[in-house]
Structure 1
Amino acid sequence: MTYDDFSTVREKAGFSVKETAKLLNKSERTVYRWENKAYSPDPQILNKLQIIAEAKNNPYTTGEPRFKFIDLFAGIGGLRRAFESVGGKCVFTSEWDEHCRKTYMANYDCDHEVLGDIKDVNLDAVPDYDVLLAGFPCQPFSIAGVSKKKSLGMQHGFRDETQGTLFFDVARMIEYHRPKAFVLENVKNLQTHDKGKTFSVIMRTLEKELGYHVDYKVINSKGWVPQNRERIFIVGFRDSAGFSFDNFVVKDPCKGPTLNAVLHPEDSTELPDPPYTDENGKVREKYTLSDKLWHYLQGYAEKHKKKGNGFGFGLNGPEDVARTLSARYYKDGSEILIRQEGKNPRRLTPRECSRLMGFDEKEPFVIPVSDTQAYKQFGNSIVVPVVETIAQHMLPYILGNTENTSNKKPEQLDIFDMPEYEPEMPSV
């Protein structure tokens, strides 16, 4: 490939000149010179852009995958969907919730069993893989989760024996298999939980005890979907690959889509989508709030307004951007309500939630579960196009050569046999 192809490759990769400059850590002036054929870019730079372009335009479907990955705490497969889009192949899945497994298996061609609890996984039975993906449970670290557990006198964070310690099951798997890379996802509040002690333990485990090169970034999905949703993504590479989030291209949140992009149009331009819309494409009445619930939410909001609190419902129109969709959405839908002329507002339908999370970009996502379960599943998931962008950013480093190709853990480190490890756990 010659520099004559630079503009074509950039366009296939889907980046503007400004985004390309940030991705490649170059000035916009330099990129414009490449565009205008003033001089040639370095072949390695062009190769990096070509890898991203090929992955976006020719994702893995059949034949030899670009790399293999495992999907832990898989949920409904948001991380899988993103990494398949750049040519990865899933070779192992673990998800404890039976309803999530039902949705997962309805949407993906699995040539392997979808296993349950990660604690029951036989590490020797996990096939070879290059990348570990894990959206480990966030409830112990979320603001809402911590508040609820404190009110009940329960432990949270790493002292939550049913969920908080699941991070260490991920760490144990990383230690055992030494994958080339990993991606961990959690709520933004993970950074500040227990005055930063929780995050400090996580980073120490990954960097000092497992010996990985780690970077992380809090990303808001507003540039990709009409939702104000911040999540932290932690990426690690076994070898010194040079990966960093410093030049990660974040879409401008001020130029992102609005709810109009995900709502049922209800004007006969969309085919009926049962059971969410009727034969005319109108959203079914069951999604409209009852008078009792609507009056309750208005009263609740007014009460907290008088106290100076910000609690209340989120009322939206087609040109708005929604609050964060949560797993509790099935209860009353209060965080994202849609205005309706002449009647009470309504909840989003599960189909609209699927679109809001980016699952329907290429084809309709299969939703084989009840509305209650669907709301929980989408509220707990990741925004697919955000992670697709992360996967594209990681791909050149996953496929590229690295300084040290050893897949053995550091000889001096054994994180699960360190007697001094337990006292450093964060206090709650």
Structure 2
Amino acid sequence: MKQQFEGRAVAQSSSRSIRRKRPAFRFIDLFAGIGGLRRGFEQIGGHCVFTSEWNTQSQKTYAANFRADDQHLLAGDITQVDAADIPQHDVLLAGFPCQPFSIAGVSKKNSLGRAHGFRDEAQGTLFFDVARIIEHHKPAAFLLENVKNLARHDKGRTFQVIVRTLQEELGYHNLHWRILNARCWVPQNRERIFLAGFRNSNGFSFDNLPVPDLASGPRLRSILHPEDGSEPPDEPYTQGPRGTVNPRYTLSDKLWQYLQNYADKHRGKGNGFGFGLVGPDDVARTLSARYHKDGSEILIAQHGRNPRRLTPRECARLMGFERPGEASFVIPVADTSAYQQFGNAVVVDVVAAIAEHLRPWLPDRSAPPQQLHLPLQLSTDD
């Protein structure tokens, strides 16, 4: 069911002309989560005209962080949205879940000697919805994001269906992909695969994407609360004049002992399981959607105390949604939902780098600028 952002009208105090620059291109944001892909493409002048995200808690965070626009739809379940109801766009963005493709119906097609396509192979998966929207709108370009294992998922069959669908059935033969580790941009090991496709031929390549030097990458210190008074208190995450982290993020004795015992047990079996205890000069493991359960993948060491979880504010910084020292990203949900949302998100810095690299090959509709003449608003005060 589609939901619409509430538009807000801003009254003008005097008659004046505003030169409003047209967006360079229009894009849609599918499986949007909390808007990591959108942030990266807005930074290069794109204008988002449609969003879909089924999770109501993620919708709440998304809506709290993007300007209300009465021309922009925030839809829920994309499987219930007719492609014809989606506005025209130049670029499609999607971070769809990794799912196996069913072979139901495919063997029957083969036995009849008929070709089968994505409507048979991908039916019932969310990639099907990406494909049907691309088929209908034929955007100039798209960027798809997924977990690193997509390339090996289901013994490689999943990726084969995706590539074949995009190239052979939808006509995007100019298709490129690359696995990138966010470690070069943020202090977190997080590998994701990105697929960029273009309707027309051009000179794009992921091979010459500028990637920061790994050795000089940032450390956790850059995203942690400094707890020295240099940041104002950020309730409920930090408190007091020094902005110290709320004690509720420190592990209880019971949970800390359980994690140590569990790690010892698996270490003895040679399984290699262990919690990720790190300090300010380290790099974190991958933040996952299950972080809310026990925080074991990223535990911050504390002198004289049990380790603690990252706060949701630190997770926002670790995922690139805001810069250290800021508290600009609105987190309107409880910690459990916030951890899930950040764990499912894409690192904004990585997307921004890709978007900038894509920029020369995307449509540019920014000129000439529009000139809006706003009427004089007369005061009725005596």
TM over 0.5: yes
Q: What is residue 241 of structure 1 aligned with on the other side?
A: 202
Q: Deviations over 1:172-207 (max 9, x none)?
A: 100110000000000000011122111111111111
In 1, the alpha carbon distance for the partners of 2:185 and 2:39 equals 16
Supply the distance in 1 between the matched residues of 2:362 and 2:343 (Cα, whole angstroms): 29
Q: How far does the alpha carbon of each residue in 1:121-163 deviate from its partner, in whole angstroms, 9 at most, with x for none?
A: 121121111000000024769xxxxxxxxxxxxxxxx9xx999
Find the partner of 1:120 among 80, 83, 87: 80
CA distance in 2, matches of 1:201, 1:325: 29
> Partner residue of 1:224?
185
* Equivalent position to 2:355, from 356, 377, 391: 391
Q: Which of 203, 215, 220 does residue 254 from structure 1 map onto?
A: 215
Quick check: 1:303 aligned with 2:265? yes
Distance 1:315 1:173 in 2: 44
| 1:29 matched residue in structure 2 | none
Aligned equivalent of 2:147: 187
What's 2:91 paired with? 131
Inter-CA distance 400–365: structure 2 relative to 1 (3 Å threshold): closer
Higher helix share: 1
Q: Which residue of 2 aligns with 1:196?
A: 156
Secondary structure (helix, strand or coil) at the match of 1:179 reads coil
Q: CA deviation at 1:62?
A: 5.3
Aligned length: 323
| Structure having greater relative contact order (Cα 8 Å, sep ≥ 6) | 2
Q: TM-score, normalised by structure 2?
A: 0.81
Give the equivalent residue in structure 1 for 2:132. Answer: 172
* Distance in 1, Cα, partners of 2:344 & 2:34: 9
Task: Give me the whole-angstrom Cα distance separating, in 1, the residues matched to 2:171 and 2:204.
Answer: 15
Counting aligned pairs with the same residue, the percent is 65
Q: Measured at CA, do residues 322 and 79 of structure 1 come closer, stay the same or move farther in structure 2, by a change above 3 Å?
A: same
- Structure 2, unmatched stretches of 5+, are 1-18, 102-117, 366-382
Quote the offset at 1:109 in angstroms.
1.1
Residue matched to 1:314: 276
CA contact 2:100–2:153 (8 Å) conserved in 1: no
- 182 and 162 in structure 1: CA distance in 2 versus 1, 3 angstrom threshold: closer
1:363 offset after TM fit, Å? 6.2
CA shift, 1:287, in A, is 0.2
Distance in 2 (alpha carbons) for counterparts of 1:67 and 1:202: 25
Q: Which moved more, 1:78-87 or 1:190-199?
A: 190-199
Q: 1:377 aligns with which of 341, 344, 348?
A: 341
What is the rounded CA distance, in whole Å, between the counterparts of 1:164 and 1:324 in structure 2? Answer: 29
Q: Is the 8 Å Cα contact of residues 27 and 48 (structure 2) preserved in structure 1?
A: yes
- More strand by proportion, 1 or 2? 2
Q: Secondary structure at the match of 2:238?
A: coil
2:244 is aligned with 1:282: yes
- The CA distance in 1 between the partners of 2:235 and 2:217, in whole Å, is 29
Letter in 2 for 1:310: G
Matches of 1:248 and 1:171, distance apart in 2? 26
1:78–1:195: structure 2 CA closer, same or farther, 3 Å change rule? same
CA contact (8 A) 1:137 1:163 kept: no
1:78 is aligned to 36
The 2-side partners of 1:335 and 1:214 are apart by 34
Which structure 2 residues correspond to residues 21-32 of structure 1 after superposition, within 5 A? none
Deviation at 1:85, TM superposition (A): 0.3
- Partner SS, residue 245 of structure 2: coil
CA distance in 2, matches of 1:132, 1:312: 39
Kindly state the Cα deviation for residue 242 of structure 1 after the two structures are TM-superposed.
2.1
Which whole-Å CA distance do the structure 1 matches of 2:140 and 2:258 have between them? 52
